[in-house]
């Protein structure tokens, strides 16, 4: 299948609730997970909700790694979207499972940006035609 990227959705169950509500620890674990996967970290943003829960994203050159935590349920949802095949998502998820203290994990992978033609490899950074700001050829 010829796709621009892949999105991997991971559900971490039976996690340590204290870890799931520790903004600094979640940020550190997510940044390290991105690096372990071989991704290039561009920026990181994490938010601690009141009374509890964290949402955050590690923007990577290859797309993003995000997390949403529910400490009250011992649950975290993680999303890794990447273009290309160089990233090793299993490295990121193994690290996060350990850091979150997760006893059970569910994984689903989706292909994104399925384009024609299917018999030729896709270039992730194709050369765009010269255009002005109105979309007309220069």
Catalytic residue ranges = 63, 68, 83
Q: How far apart are CA 61 and CA 132, in angstroms?
A: 26
- Count CB neighbours of 89 within 10 A: 20
Q: Are 1 and 85 in contact, with CB atoms under 8 Å apart?
A: no
CA dihedral in degrees (58, 59, 61, 64; nearest 10)? 80
Residue 79, class by beta-carbon neighbours within 10 Å (0-12 exposed, 13-18 middle, 19+ buried)? middle
Q: Are 1 and 82 in contact, with CB atoms under 8 Å apart?
A: no
Question: Among residues 123, 115, 21, which one has the least CA distance to residue 73?
Answer: 21
């Amino acid at each position: 299948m010829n796709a621009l990227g892949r999105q991997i959705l991971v559900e971490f169950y039976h996690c340590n609730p204290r870890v799931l509500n520790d903004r600094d620890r979640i940020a550190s674990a997510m940044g390290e997970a991105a690096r372990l996967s071989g991704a290039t970290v561009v920026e990181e943003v994490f938010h601690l909700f009141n009374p509890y829960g964290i949402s955050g994203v590690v923007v990577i050159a290859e797309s993003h790694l995000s997390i949403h935590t529910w400490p009250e349920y011992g649950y975290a949802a993680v999303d890794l979207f990447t273009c290309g095949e160089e990233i090793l998502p299993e490295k990121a998820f193994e690290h996060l499972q350990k850091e979150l203290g997760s006893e059970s994990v569910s994984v689903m992978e989706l292909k994104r940006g399925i384009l024609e033609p299917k018999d030729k490899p896709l270039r992730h950074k194709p050369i765009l035609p010269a255009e002005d700001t109105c979309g007309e050829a220069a």
